[in-house]
């Protein structure tokens, strides 16, 4: 085990890694309690032509990594559109976008897969990721997918992500009323899936 740190690419300040320093500071024989979801948190639709719209922030991208791997590697492909919108406060927090963990890039050549990333605008690293802007940049496609009764919506990340998604989707839909009606229909059909923490 070693202590990790990172340098903020804007301010140049050094920050200690939270997990590595916590573990290094534990006394010998210290105990750690782990909690969290186990297995695959998201169901895969039986219809392999269904659209999959995934929105994640920070570590919320982790379940999508497994979902994408399962639909392309284990199931042998996916015919419906698969769109991943993910964000973080900075590129340093962008999981699976480094040389060691760039496995999402393995799926960029899949004809049905596209991924769109959003980071907080510099120099405001404390601001939430600009996921809403990225969703609005692709509003026509997002709206078309959401109108399809086969599309499943997956959301993963901190609880605060939900408000950001609601705000962006109200703009995509043209009004909060239209989004709320569509949201209720997606939830009622069992096509809404979320893992929030």
Per-domain boundaries in the chain: 1-33, 52-196
Number of H helices, E strands in the chain: 6, 7
Is pLDDT at 58 greater than 90 in this prediction?
no
Cβ atoms within 10 Å of 161's Cβ, excluding its own? 23
Asked whether 62 and 158 are in contact (CB, 8 A), the reply is no
Which of 53 and 28 is assigned the larger pLDDT? 53
Question: Is residue 35's pLDDT more than 70?
Answer: no
- Asked if 93 and 67 count as a contact pair (C-beta separation under 8 A), the reply is no
pTM of the model: 0.76
Q: Give the CATH number of domain 52-196; options: 3.90.1200.10, 3.20.10.10, 3.40.50.80, 1.10.220.10.
A: 3.40.50.80
Distance from the Cα of residue 100 to its chain's centroid: 19
User: Contact, 156 vs 66, CB < 8 A?
Assistant: no
Q: How confident is the model at residue 60 (pLDDT cuts 50, 70, 90)?
A: confident
Q: HSE on the CB side for 76, CA within 13 Å?
A: 0
First-to-last alpha carbon distance for the chain, in angstroms, is 27
Rounded-to-integer distance, Cα 68 and Cα 194, Å: 16
For 53, phi and psi rounded to 5 degrees?
-110, 115
């Amino acid at each position: 085990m070693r202590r990790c740190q990172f340098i903020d690419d804007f301010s140049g300040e050094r920050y200690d890694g939270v997990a590595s320093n916590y573990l290094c500071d534990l006394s010998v024989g210290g105990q750690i309690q782990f909690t969290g979801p186990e297995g695959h948190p998201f169901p895969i639709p039986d219809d392999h032509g269904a659209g999959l719209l995934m929105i994640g922030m920070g570590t919320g991208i982790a379940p999508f990594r497994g979902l994408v791997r399962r639909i392309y590697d284990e199931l042998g492909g996916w015919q419906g559109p698969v769109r991943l919108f993910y964000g973080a406060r900075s590129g340093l927090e962008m999981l699976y976008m480094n040389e060691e963990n760039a496995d999402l890039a393995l799926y960029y050549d899949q004809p049905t897969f596209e991924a769109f990333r959003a980071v907080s605008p510099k120099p405001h690293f404390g601001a939430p990721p600009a996921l809403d802007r990225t969703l609005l940049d692709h509003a026509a496609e997002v709206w078309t997918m959401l109108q399809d009764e086969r599309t499943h919506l997956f959301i993963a990340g901190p609880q605060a992500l939900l408000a950001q998604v609601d705000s962006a989707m109200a703009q995509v839909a043209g009004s909060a009323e239209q989004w709320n009606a569509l949201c209720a229909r997606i939830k009622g059909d069992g096509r809404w899936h979320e893992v929030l923490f």
